[in-house]
């Protein structure tokens, strides 16, 4: 039998949190840890304990063997799969039903949007795209997030909207 590697498991749980758009505060509450503890784990100064690993295994519907794998398999539509899996579990479903992190929205939806990748979009259009999924982010939050994701997104130009100059954001290819 393969030995358990808590570093790999921790890395995989963090990857699952991010790829499913789970807010760190919500996940910390789920595993009954503080956000400070989760921040230490993200900075590689701590690892998840057995109780947290078991809760994560249950929440993400992954076995310990899967979590211990150096190359964990994450389904393309894992967030929606989790919603379906946990539809009868109020504690888990309420967590997955919440608006996902902006990083998730950008990475898994905006950067896969054909118009955004080919022509670019202004913040108002991005906001409407996210609202079509039921996710409400403020325009300033979206704008700040575009700037923070400069490795994947750039300002491809500007446009005049209602007398104001606005940036057109586009995916870096």
> Please, which residues bridge with residue 171 across strands?
153
Query: What is the predicted pLDDT for the residue at 120?
Result: 97
Confidence of residue 2 (pLDDT cuts 50, 70, 90): low
Per-residue pLDDT tens digits for 146-160: 999 999 999 999 999
Decide: helix, strand or coil at residue 94: helix
Cβ 6 vs Cβ 57: under 8 Å: no
Q: What is the pLDDT of residue 19?
A: 93
- Measure the CA–CA gap between 28 and 36, rounded to whole angstroms: 9
26 pLDDT tier (thresholds 50, 70, 90): very high
pLDDT class of 77 with cuts at 50, 70, 90: confident
pLDDT for residue 130 is more than 70: yes
Mean pLDDT, range 57-72, rounded to an integer: 96
* Pairwise CA distance, residues 152 & 137, whole Å: 19
Residue 78 CA to residue 84 CA, distance in Å, equals 10
pLDDT at residue number 28 = 97
Mean pLDDT (the chain) is 94
Pairing verdict, β 164-171 and 153-161: antiparallel
The arithmetic mean of pLDDT across residues 34-47, rounded, is 97
One DSSP character per residue, 21-59 reads T--HHHHHHHTT--HHHHHHHHTTS----HHHHHHHHHH
pLDDT at 73: 92
Is-above-0.95 flag for pTM? Answer: no
Q: Tokens 């379906």 sit at which residue?
A: 84
- Joined tokens for residue 48: 């998840």
């Amino acid at each position: 039998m393969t030995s358990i590697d808590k570093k790999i498991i921790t890395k995989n749980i963090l990857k699952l949190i991010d790829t499913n758009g789970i807010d760190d505060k919500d996940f910390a509450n789920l595993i009954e840890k503080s956000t400070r503890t989760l921040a230490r784990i993200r900075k590689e100064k701590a690892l998840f304990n057995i109780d947290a690993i078991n809760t994560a295994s249950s929440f993400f519907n992954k076995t310990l063997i899967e979590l211990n794998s150096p190359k964990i398999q994450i389904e393309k539509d894992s967030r929606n799969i989790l919603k379906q899996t946990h539809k009868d579990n109020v504690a888990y479903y309420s967590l997955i039903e919440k608006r996902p992190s902006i990083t998730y929205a950008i990475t898994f939806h905006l950067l896969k949007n054909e118009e955004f990748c080919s022509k670019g979009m202004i913040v108002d259009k991005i906001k409407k795209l996210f609202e079509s999924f039921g996710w409400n982010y403020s325009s300033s939050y979206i704008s700040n997030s575009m700037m923070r994701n400069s490795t994947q997104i750039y300002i491809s130009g500007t446009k005049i909207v209602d007398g104001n100059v606005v940036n057109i954001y586009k995916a870096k290819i």
